[in-house]
Structure 1
């Protein structure tokens, strides 16, 4: 039988501590840091005004009550005009809907986009040298407002 020397006292005490150290490490590894207290940060953002453009075909300047018209009752439009901005001096690019809408939408003369009369069927538009619709590359009020953080929509014509 081979005789081994007795372990040194240092190793004896270390070996005796091994189970205690394993239990301590196991207990510590299962401990989790307390969750950080939740904080709410309130960020004040500047409020953007709501913008509503209403365009109507074949309406004269004084047809609405807010512009002095007496023939048609227009209470809701009059209230919107009273609470918002009312244009009293302006220039209309055309007495026809398509070029007027083009000018209003793009801020440019409608001839620049080849819309100089009402948009008709494709054959008639081609014969007159007109566009079939507003070019997608045209700048628009909606694109400008969208890049400024507004949500935009277009309903109607």
Structure 2
């Protein structure tokens, strides 16, 4: 069997979208190092507001900025407060990630819908804060997995 260049991620993302299509209004496809900070304090409130403004949109795209954090080398030294306090956000914005409206989206990809992408709405940066953590020390670096 041949694999697509993206390691069949698009199939897995679309499968996730289809599984939760009936039970949720929105699905976020993101990496573990992506963090969305809703300005209102509520993801559902923010996404619902955009859905009312753009009811036929397949997705809402949020630009992202890279960020760096300091993470303790050993788990015993880890503090979530200290880690988040060390967050430094860079100014450059890059292509973001999408929040899919399950009623409209037919396919999912890591950044944007594969179909009906023309209905994707770009959300202004001041409406939500999206960062991707790029430089950190692994808290498990000292473990030997062999």
Q: What TM-score do the two structures reach when normalised by structure 1?
A: 0.20
Q: Which protein has the larger Cα radius of gyration, Structure 1 or Structure 2?
A: 1
Which one has a larger percent strand, Structure 1 or Structure 2?
2
Which one has a larger percent helix, Structure 1 or Structure 2?
1
Q: What TM-score do the two structures reach when normalised by structure 2?
A: 0.21
Higher relative contact order (Cα pairs below 8 Å, separated by 6+ residues) = 2
